[in-house]
Amino acid sequence: MPTDRPIDQNTAPAATDPADGRSDTTPAGPDDRPDLDGLAGTVGLFAEESRARAFAAVVLGAATAAQVAERTGLSSKDAAIALRRLRDQGVVEERRDGLAVAYDRFRELARGAAAKRSDEGFGSGDERSETVLRTFVRDGRLVRLPAQWERKLVVLRHIAEQTFEPGVAYPERTVNEKLRAWCEDAPVDHVTLRRYLVDLHHLNRRSGVYRRAEAATAA
């Protein structure tokens, strides 16, 4: 019978992951880590259903292997395998109070992907816009808003296009969360950024719901 406590990596029974045949007690080598170029390795990690289900259980508060097995319907063995791989890949970690999502790992991957995109250019198709974006957007974050209005329009258009899908309805809370991420290192808050996007018609607001127009028209 499973016990309601975190798995001890030193005493957990060996098991084989059916997805790759690796023993559950085999140390993770360099080839077992996600692709450090971006998110591809992490996406591949969740291609296995048991891992995705186990991860979702941890996100929703499961703090032990027994709780993960109970909430996902996985056997104790499959839950242990899935959790071991998630820990090996750094997306779940063992804390004093149990299992938790390693959000710092996801931030690291997201920033790495953003930095790679910056190195490859922003895809604006215009060298002047590229120069502006390289100056005011770094690692997927806003450095600051330009004082010059034409440059500000370039940056705001970029933020709108990278953050919101055309036609998708976003509640205000979601809009705030997405824009707050852009403002993490910038001397501007998400409310100011949201107001600019609405005023410039990059976002249309109605009854607390925001949508990016199919073809945003800057004022």
Q: Smallest Cα–Cα separation from 4: which of 97, 87, 100? A: 97
Q: Where are the domains of the chain?
A: 1-120, 125-212
For residue 7, the model assigns a pLDDT of 39
Residue-level pLDDT at 128 = 86
For range 164-178, the mean pLDDT: 93
Q: Which of 22-26, 54-58, 138-142 has the highest mean pLDDT?
A: 54-58
pLDDT band at 23 (very low <50, low <70, confident <90, very high): very low
Q: Is the per-residue pLDDT at 138 higher than 80?
A: yes
pTM above 0.85, yes or no: no
Measure Cα distances from 89 to 42, 172, 206 in Å: 8, 34, 42
Average pLDDT score, the chain: 79
Instruction: Please give the pLDDT value at position 209.
Output: 94
- Residue 120 phi, psi (nearest 5): -90, -5
Q: What is the DSSP string of 40-104?
A: HHHHHHTTSHHHHHHHHHHHTT--SHHHHHHHH---HHHHHHHHHHHHHTTSEEEETTEEEE-HH
Model confidence over 78-94: pLDDT tens digits?
A: 999 999 999 988 899 99
Q: Of 7, 10, 174, whose CA–CA distance to 81 is shortest?
A: 7
Q: Give me the CATH topology for the region 1-120.
A: Arc Repressor Mutant, subunit A (1.10.10)
Q: How far apart are CA 205 and CA 198, in angstroms?
A: 7
